[in-house]
A and B are shown apart, each in its own frame.
Chain A
């Protein structure tokens, strides 16, 4: 009996160690110039639960780079208490959130809160989120999203998830984590590489390329069930999946007819149709948010550049002109800009083009940026880069001002993909 107990303890300890090792740590390396001062009071009620929720809300808002946290003091404030907003304004807060945690009749926790504008001296609104004890951080993310949207006018992404690949030793793991890097879970482990994960528009599935069959094959993986389905395993290489915004079709890249070319295929692998027609390489397709256009990389002009064509195929127009290496196009979800990787003086740097003015801005000063991925609200771009010879994830705001770094102990992190808004 004690021996079994010991074994359980040991396996628990191992699990804890694995979890700790798999956790991404987020570090803010740059913040916006005009941050909104906001006070998140200690929520009243169940103290332990309140602590988890308010800590999550504060960390989310601070990490976004758009908010400055004002010290709320130690006194818990619930959502119904009369607050002296002038007093909070005097403490330097433009906004104040107060709330409480209470256990409902069904045993679940209810997180209630109210948000105030101290300048206009009004309540901006409030909400209640009901959740199980182990989902308290999720409730915190929801509250942070609410506050973010009320104060900035755009949707928050704290409740979204990210996918990425960790290489440790010769093992590859496709990980799913909350946008703050917490709660990481492994969707797929493999002794062979996994690249190019992309989220289905409803956030329930990932498409990716796995090399487990000694060649690149495209799979769709349902996250809840773990069920996997081959979408494309044609002769030659199968790679670079991209979901159409309707979630029904994907653009993929096949070499079955010669050089890499872009095809469309139904999510169940039927209805294959060739979209691009060139004698060179056409790859890295991505749909515009309206689904009408596909951006892609092609070397048809002699060097890899970004082009666009109709989502039904046909003629293409060149999009990038500066330099001899512009790859990995990612149109922003709001349709206004295009992130891509540009090689300048031997350095691969994350760049963004304003699609209206065609102005290009280089967003980083790093050496080996790759695989950019927009947050669903278009504000931040997550990408892979290298620091000290190790793969890490970074995020930068599309204006280049706010910077975050997500790293992990004992592994190379690569191939990030930011998931859609949670419905």
Chain B
């Protein structure tokens, strides 16, 4: 509160020094200037990645693509998400991503690892079709080993059938 008030006062003083006289009562109340989230263009988040990759307002912060039971194709509802990531990779050729495919817990661990790979490969194909380069994208599988939801019911399983996108910046910092 104090910090905001002082620059406001200073601004008033500077303006006050200019040729145009200012009516002291015409200024907007100081309170109206609070509640603003400062955004620094080109700033980095905690993992050293550009903020637009984690900013909840950016579609690029959406990193999970969910799959239906026994399905390995990227559903239409993820078209915008995939397009946004492809566009980012095209615009930032020195950025790399890791796509981790996952399955639900039912069945053989190793067979599930291969099924998770089919999911990450499908996401990779969608991205490369839209211009991401082969050397920017690695698709791997975590199989059933890293469930997002540890439960054992249909809801948990549907949250675990997914592919996640992880980013790495040119300086090596990032999510993988």
In the assembled complex, how far is the CB of residue B66 from the closest CB belonging to chain A, in whole angstroms?
20
Cα(A120)–Cα(B22), bound, Å: 121
Interface status of A274 (Cβ within 8 A of chain B) = no
**B138–A297 CB distance below 8 A:** no
Question: Residues of B contacting A94 with CB < 8 Å?
Answer: none
B interface footprint on A317-357 (CB within 8 Å = 1, 0 otherwise): 00000000101100000000000010100001000000000
Contact, CB under 8 Å: B110 / A237: no
A residues contacting the other copy or chain, number (CB 8 A):
32
Binding stretch for chain B, among A28-36, A59-67, A143-151, A253-261 = A253-261
In the complex, which of the residues B109, B114, B121, B152 contacts A196, with contact meaning CB atoms closer than 8 Å?
B109
Whether A389 is near chain B, meaning CB under 8 Å from some CB there, is yes
Q: Pick the contact of A255 from B109, B141, B142 — CB < 8 Å?
A: B141
Interface residues of A in 399-415 (CB under 8 A from B): 415
Given the contacts A214-B98, A215-B100, A236-B138, A343 and B117 also touching, CB distance less than 8 Å:
no
Judge whether B111 and A255 touch: CB under 8 Å.
no
Q: Which residues of A contact B87 (CB under 8 A)?
A: none
Q: For the complex, is A7 an interface residue (Cβ under 8 Å from B)?
A: no
- How many contacts between A and B, using CB within 8 angstroms? 95
Contact with B along A183-222 (1 / 0, CB 8 A): 0000000000101100000000000000100111000000
- Which of chain A's residues has its CB closest to B118's CB? A259
Chain B contacts for A260, CB-based, 8 A: 113-114, 117
Within B88-115, which residues are at the interface with A (CB < 8 Å)? 98, 100, 106-111, 113-115
The verdict on A376 contacting chain B, using a C-beta distance below 8 Å, is: no
> Given A193-B146, A215-B98, are A281 and B140 also a contact pair (CB < 8 Å)?
no
Partner of B107, one of A193, A195, A259, A348: A348
Contact A284 B140 (CB under 8 A): no
Docked-complex contact B111 and A237, CB < 8 angstroms: no
Q: Which residue of A lies closest to B109 (CB)?
A: A195
Contact A216 B111 (CB under 8 A): no
Within 8 A of A (CB), among B130-156: 138-143, 145-146, 152
Q: Which residues of A contact B111 (CB under 8 A)?
A: 281, 283-284, 297, 304, 327-328
For A216, what are the chain B residues with a Cβ–Cβ distance below 8 Å? 113, 140-143
Evaluate whether A259 and B108 lie within 8 angstroms (CB atoms) in the complex, with A211-B145, A214-B166 already known. Answer: no
**Hey, which chain A residues are within 8 Å of B138, CB to CB?**
215, 235-236
Q: Is A288 an interface residue (CB 8 A)?
A: no
Contact A283:B140 (CB < 8 A) given known A211-B146, A255-B121: no
B109 and A259 form a contact (CB under 8 A): no
What chain B residues lie within 8 Å of A211 (beta carbons)?
142, 145-146
Name B140's contact: one of A193, A196, A237 (CB within 8 Å).
Answer: A237
Distance (whole angstroms) from the CB of A212 to the closest CB of chain B: 12
Q: State whether A239 touches B108 (Cβ < 8 A).
A: no
Bitwise interface map of A from 411 to 422 toward B, beta carbon under 8 Å scored 1, else 0: 000010000000
Q: Does A179 sit at the interface, judged by CB under 8 A?
A: no
Whether, in the assembled complex, A240 has its beta carbon less than 8 Å from a beta carbon of chain B, the answer is yes
B108, B121, B139, B145: which contacts A370 (Cβ < 8 A)? B108
CA distance A258 to B117 in the complex (A): 9
Which residues from B are CB-within-8-Å of A259? Answer: 114, 117-118, 121
Min Cβ gap A306→B in Å is 11
* Alpha-carbon distance A260/B141, docked complex (angstroms): 10
B78 at the interface (CB under 8 A from A): no
Q: Indicate with 1 or 0, residue by residue over A222-256, a CB within 8 angstroms of chain B CB atoms.
A: 00000000000001110110000000000001010
A415 to B108, CA, bound (A): 11
Bound complex: CA A211 to CA B139 (Å): 14
Tell me if A237 and B108 are in contact (CB < 8 A): no
Residue on B nearest A214 in the bound complex, by CB: B176
Q: Which residues of A contact B143 (CB under 8 A)?
A: 195, 216
Q: By the criterion CB–CB under 8 Å, are B121 and A253 in contact?
A: no
Bound together, the chains give a CA A216 to CA B111 distance in angstroms of: 13
Contacts of B152 in A (CB 8 A): 389
Which residue of chain B has its CB nearest to the CB of A213? B176
A193–B110 Cα distance when bound, in Å, is 13
A239 touches B113 (CB 8 A): yes
Determine if B121 and A281 form an interchain contact, defined as CB atoms under 8 angstroms apart. no
Q: Does A371 contact B (CB under 8 A)?
A: yes
Q: Which of A54-107 touch B at CB < 8 Å? A: none
- Say whether A195 contacts B110, CB under 8 Å: yes
- Would you mind naming 27 contact pairs between A and B with Cβ atoms under 8 Å apart? A195-B109, A195-B145, A214-B140, A215-B140, A216-B140, A237-B113, A237-B117, A237-B141, A239-B113, A240-B110, A255-B117, A255-B141, A259-B121, A260-B113, A281-B114, A281-B115, A281-B118, A283-B110, A283-B113, A284-B108, A284-B110, A297-B108, A297-B111, A304-B111, A370-B108, A371-B108, A389-B152
| 7 shortest interchain CB distances as A-B pairs | A260-B114, A215-B140, A193-B145, A327-B108, A281-B114, A214-B176, A240-B110
